[in-house]
Amino acid sequence: MSIEPVKDYQQAAKVLRDTNLRQGLYDEGAVLMEGVLVNLHGEKHRARRGLENKVFRRGFFSHYEKDVFPKTLALTIDQFVSNGGGDLVEFGFRALINLTCDFAGVDRPQASQSETDRLLSLMRAFALGTTLAHSKDDRDKVRQQVSEALSAFDVEFLQPSVERRMSLIRQVEARGGEEQDLPRDVLTVLLRNEDQIELDDAQLVREMAFFVVAGAQTSIHSLVHVMHEIFTWSDNRSERIETLRTDPMLVQRCVHESARLHPSSPVAVRRAECPVLLPTEQRVETDEQVTIDLQSANQDEKIFGSRASEFDPNRQFDKGISPYGLSFGLGMHACIGRTLAAGVTPKPDTDPVDHQYGIIALIASALLKNGVRPDPEQPAEVDAKTERPNWGRYPVLLGSNPSSNPH
């Protein structure tokens, strides 16, 4: 008997936390995903995540949000504004790829446009590997494309990055230096602790490629979704746009609400390590698969009210319920970078000046302040290459004369 998808919010949360169920969403995309952090289970996962969490210690996300990312964003958005707008999807890729490479540990020694273009090309190929289960293209051809991209990434970017860090590590160890004397990124942590984990050269390439695509790809789609929701929500309500331009807390609530409605993957998949009785009373046998319908769980009316399917950035939540639902996961596979992407959920007494909003809210706020609105001459297009409900192209205008109404 087939296992029915889990759609109830509370039941889905329990399934995501069940340590007898391993990750199963990326089985089809093993060409990229085999052995990467998100696909590990049990002790191997704990060991790898424990190491990589060293990068994301207290203060890391705040440092990147307040000190590193604004400079990258300014360079990207200035060009976007000077052009009068463009494709929001392409803009998101350019705004996020360099930041993602920074914390992953992928060097860009030239810091050139052509170098960014090359990284974007490789990242798009990697993204095909992570979403292979939902691809509409010939999957064997996609696997070949991903494999070629991994080889190119290794030679052009990863090997030079490894060589530079190994030289720095040797220098620091020779003089008895401290960890803070080294780059603060995932690659450095893995290289310093390679004796503690099973990570051969091919696996290191996949791990770093995964960090690049996970850090940028999902955030890009989250950005485009939230801007679309904002445009729709503020249609014929000019006061809403004006408020958004001056209220970053509201922008962050929009990000969270949009993430609830548009999880980066509409489903999560788990595979049983042993026989498991699900909260739905269904029994899953060893190696059987269970699907968690995140889209339905995040719109459970028992949790989010009778209008759960509607976008409402002023929605109220019961204690213990995340404003973005289950979109960033729970348990051992909760998204390691969710604080960087979505910030910290504010409390009633949170100081807006010191608050951490997340980079998606920062980008959205910058776009709003620059008068972003949909391009009426070029309608947005969905991504036809995947079953995931993402935008493939979203033309917008920026700069002078944004009428208060974005449409």
Q: What are phi and psi of 75, to 5 degrees?
A: -65, -40
Structural domain containing residue 310: 9-375
Q: In the predicted model, what is the mean pLDDT of residues 204-229?
A: 92
Judged against a pLDDT cut of 80, whether residue 154 lies above it is answered with yes
Integer Cα distance of 157 and 41 in angstroms = 29
Domain contains 319: yes
Q: What is the pLDDT of residue 103?
A: 85
Domain contains 229: yes
Domain contains 210: yes
Integer Cα distance of 113 and 93 in angstroms = 13
Integer Cα distance of 312 and 261 in angstroms = 10
Domain contains 407: no
Domain contains 388: no
Q: What is the pLDDT of residue 402?
A: 46
Domain contains 381: no
pTM: 0.90
Alpha helices for 262-313 (secondary structure H): 294-297, 301-304
10 Å CB burial of residue 215 (0-12, 13-18, 19+) is buried
Task: Pick 360 or 135 by higher pLDDT.
Answer: 360
Domain contains 391: no
The predicted-structure confidence for 326-356, as pLDDT tens digits, reads as follows: 999 998 888 888 888 999 999 889 999 989 9
Q: What is the pLDDT of residue 404?
A: 46
Q: What are phi and psi of 383, to 5 degrees?
A: -80, 110
Integer Cα distance of 14 and 290 in angstroms = 13
User: Number of C-alpha atoms within 13 angstroms, CB side, residue 260?
Assistant: 26
Query: How high does pLDDT run on average in the chain?
Result: 90
Judged against a pLDDT cut of 90, whether residue 290 lies above it is answered with yes
Nearest to 80 by CA among 294, 369, 340: 369
Q: How far is CA 34 from the centre of its chain?
A: 19
Tell whether the torsion through CA atoms of 329, 330, 333 and 338 is positive or negative.
positive
Total of domains in the chain: 1
What are the tokens at 357?
């909003």
Q: What is the CATH number of the domain that holds 100?
A: 1.10.630.10
Angle at 375 between CA 370 and CA 376, to 5 degrees: 135
8 A C-beta contact, residue 177 and residue 139:
no
Q: What are phi and psi of 20, to 5 degrees?
A: -90, 0
Domain contains 394: no
